[in-house]
Homo-oligomer: A and B are copies of this chain.
Amino acid sequence: MAKSRFEYVRNFELPDPLMPNTFAVVRIDGRGFHKFSDTHQFDKPNDVRALNLMDHAARSVMEELGDVVLAFGESDEYSFLIRRSSQLYNRRRSKINSTIVSLFTSAYVFHWTRYFPNTELVYPPSFDSRVVLYPTPKEVRDYFSWRQADTHINNLQNTSFWALVDSGMTTTEANKTLQGTDSKEKNELLFSRFGINYNNLPPMFKKGSTLVRRDPKSVEGIAEVSTSEQANDGENQARRKVKKVRPYEGTTGEVTVLHEDIIGDGFWNQRPWLLS
């Protein structure tokens, strides 16, 4: 039972540090969510409850890990941006990757009943994830543009498809009808056949969900104020307490959810700390 003679096996745990000073994006994807959404009768083409649950799970990740400054989600996927100077877990790749996907998964299952009060969770869903590194701000912006452009394309396609199916087509017929059509044709089809103005659809469907952390510097300022007012301010006390519990986990700016364009410059120019 001498444990020591077995401990050499630890030597096989090789280091896996992320390159310093690079942006890390962790993207999680639902495993088998086609079946999962069927089993749990998700609304088509978009289920608001499911999207809100995804957003909630993503927010849980950001509240736990202060170095995640931005997240973008659509459908059954979510991407998390870790700031480039982060020293989270000494930048160990597996540790970062596994912690994020586990936090997300756990929150998803934990909060299920809040968003699906009348739908029993039949079996536990799961996600996979990967870490991708980007050396420059331009690539980070293009990454998130890629995901938001994908959101738009998928949503236009799915909205058209389910409009056709709801009108009585088989899925095969609907696919055939849409084959080879471009965005403009799909917009016209939606309007002329179903009176749907695509531009009037909810921003959440068209633009996905963006969770963004507030400027950590402003927050620090607020925190100092709150210290001097602590006697009368229960809410700030609570926040301070959280900071004490996890002082090592970096920035703690508040997280806001948005459903707006992140491809243009506006979003980024207003938040220079995201890419600094």
Contact = CB atoms under 8 A, between A and B. Distances in A.
A104 B98 CA distance: 11
A9 B143 contact: yes
Chain A: interface size category: 35 or more
11 contacts: A9-B143, A12-B19, A12-B21, A64-B126, A97-B98, A102-B102, A102-B126, A106-B106, A106-B108, A110-B123, A135-B135
Contacts of A10: 146
B146 A9 contact: yes
A84 B136 CA distance: 12
A133 B94 CA distance: 14
A94 B31 contact: no
Contact of A124 (B103, B123, B142): B103
Nearest to A125: B106
Interface in A117-166: 121, 123-136, 139, 142-143, 145-146, 149-150, 152-153
Given A1-B152, A3-B146, A105-B102, A17 B17 contact: no
B101 A124 contact: no
Given A19-B19, A127-B102, A130-B94, A6 B109 contact: no
Contacts of A143: 6, 9
